[in-house]
Amino acid sequence: MYLVAAVIIFVNILLFYVGAKAFKPSDISLDFNRAMDMVFKYKAYITALIMVFLLNTIQNRVLSDLGQYIGFDLTPIIYGVEGGVVSLFQVIVTPFLTGYMFFTYVFIYIFLIVFSISLYIYCDSLKEVKATVLSYLINYMVALPFFLFLPVYESWMVLEGVAPLLFSVNLPANDFIIWVNGVNNCMPSLHSSISVTVAVIATQAYRNKKLYGLWMVVSWMFAISVLASTMYLGVHWVLDVVAGTLLGIFAGLVGYNVNYELDFLDRWIQRTIQWLKRFR
């Protein structure tokens, strides 16, 4: 499991380097000191984002298991509505396509989540930083009650015509993927919602500031690939992806158009830093 996590981190570091070169505005140079300055400037938003990710981790590790006992299994209803239509995404299965979809589902998805906020922080784009943090929170908070009270199991567990291709690529990664995602957190698809949210915020940034044009195009390409990968790999149902897409659009638009401040959190972090310096 630790080896898989190390590989994911290494690959995303490479993707980060390429992304930083390709997507930052041309008038901003890559500089370590600037990166550190921006991290300090946006420490409150980074802290808030970490708290959001911790919420998601708690949900995946604790509440998803709880949902098996207190939730109403929505899987039969999903199946009754759409039947086996998701199996159409596995009409053509090749080793190359499976590898690409696996890479998209695991690596590109994480890259979208982390790189987008990192890009906006480094480029000192306050509006986009605020939008990303709030949008991620909206995604997780809306999905949480569904995961807890209306669990939906992955399509490969129900449909005979759908193979669990996600687990066919790298066997050591199987336990890690299940540990991170669980198998009953399908409705709505957070892979879909978060990916679409990233693309929506990039679109809003381009429309309002004429910045991040290339990132907007690439983020939509990646988002569409993530949506397809969730169904091709036998993880999500079509309705999961539709719900996730709608949630992603909603969260992105709301996050971008709602203004808020985290001055209280910034002051608290600053006081904590000053208090810790007394022990140096």
Per-residue confidence (pLDDT) for residue 6, from 0 to 100: 67
Is 142 in contact with 75 (CB distance < 8 Å)?
A: no
Residue at 279 is within a domain: no
Spatial contact of 226 and 105, defined as CB atoms under 8 Å apart: yes
Q: Are 153 and 79 in contact (CB under 8 A)?
A: no
Domain-embedded: residue 16: no
For the full predicted model, state whether its pTM sits above 0.75: yes
C-alpha to C-alpha distance for 197 and 245, rounded to whole angstroms: 8
Q: Is residue 277 in a domain?
A: no
pLDDT in tens, the chain (280 residues): 555 556 667 776 777 677 777 777 777 787 888 888 888 888 888 888 888 888 777 766 666 666 666 768 888 999 899 888 888 998 888 989 998 998 898 889 988 998 999 999 988 888 999 999 999 999 988 988 888 888 888 888 888 888 888 777 665 555 556 555 666 778 899 999 999 999 999 999 998 888 888 899 999 999 999 999 999 998 889 999 999 999 999 999 999 998 888 777 778 877 777 777 777 6
Query: Is residue 23 one of the residues assigned to a domain?
Result: no
Task: For the chain, give the percent of residues with pLDDT over 70.
Answer: 85
Which residue range forms the structural domain that includes residue 68?
A: 2-8+45-270
Q: What span, in angstroms and rounded, lies between the C-alpha atoms of 74 and 63?
A: 16
Q: What is the pLDDT of residues 60-86, one digit of tens each?
A: 666 666 666 676 888 899 989 988 888
Q: What is the model's pLDDT at position 68?
A: 65
pLDDT at 183: 65
Return the residue matching tokens 């921006």. 38
Specify if 54 maps to a domain: yes
pLDDT at residue 181, rounded to an integer: 64
∠ Cα 44 119 262 (to 5°): 15
Neighbours of 83 (CB within 10 A): 11
Q: Is residue 65 part of a domain?
A: yes
Q: For residue 154, give the nearest of 86, 213, 205, 97 by alpha carbon.
A: 86
17 inside domain:
no
Concatenate the DSSP letters of all residues of 124-150 into one string: T-HHHHHHHHHHHHHHHHHHHHHHHHS
Residue 225 lies in a domain: yes
State the pLDDT at residue 178.
Answer: 57
Query: For the chain, what is the domain count?
Result: 1
How many angstroms separate the CA atoms of 267 and 271, rounded? 6
